């Protein structure tokens, strides 16, 4: 199924959509703004589960984002069937999310791990900081930031290809 290519739609996925994926969404939004491509994008996040539907980001995640200079916007929601046809790229926080998103209907070639955009990573997953202390949220922010240049480059290449200029 083909759909119009503008705007490019990217969605970040974690478990409950209150810690990792809203952090990734806010960090990526700022990096896309700095790269001059934000106006070409729709950026969202969702959880594989919907039990936090409508909630703000976890206060510890929001605090870590703000301390790092990012917005802490967002409302939790669960991944919906319509998302599979609407999004160009599904960026997951860990391998369990990749399996879940693909099993639920997302095309495998559009599902990625965020850490795969960090060439210096020592593992593939962004661990869930929910049950830990403050350090887990600080480490989460650092892991996400380390992946953003690579993710921006991927999205920029996709935008150029969609324009026929790549």
- Catalytic residue numbers, as ranges: 14, 20, 128
Ramachandran class of 163: left when φ > 0, alpha when ψ lies in -120 to 50, beta otherwise: alpha
> Phi and psi for 12 in degrees, rounded to 5?
-100, 135
In DSSP notation, 151-164 reads: HHHHHHHHHHHHHT
Give the number of other Cβ atoms within 10 Å of residue 56's Cβ.
Answer: 15
């Amino acid at each position: 199924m083909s759909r119009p290519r503008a705007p490019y739609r990217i969605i970040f996925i974690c478990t409950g959509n209150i810690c990792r994926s809203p952090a990734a969404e806010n960090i990526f939004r700022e990096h896309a703004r700095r790269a001059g491509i934000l106006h070409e994008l729709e950026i969202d996040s969702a959880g594989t589960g919907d039990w936090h539907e409508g909630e703000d980001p976890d206060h510890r995640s929001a605090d870590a984002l703000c301390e790092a200079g990012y917005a802490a916007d967002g409302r939790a929601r669960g991944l919906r069937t319509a998302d599979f046809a609407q999004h160009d790229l599904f960026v997951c926080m860990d391998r369990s999310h990749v399996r879940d998103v693909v099993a639920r209907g997302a095309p495998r070639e559009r599902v990625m791990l965020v850490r795969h955009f960090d060439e210096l990573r020592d593992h593939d997953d962004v661990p869930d900081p929910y049950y830990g202390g403050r350090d887990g949220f600080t480490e989460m922010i650092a892991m996400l930031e380390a992946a953003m240049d690579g993710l921006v480059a991927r999205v920029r290449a996709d935008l150029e290809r969609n324009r026929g200029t790549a």
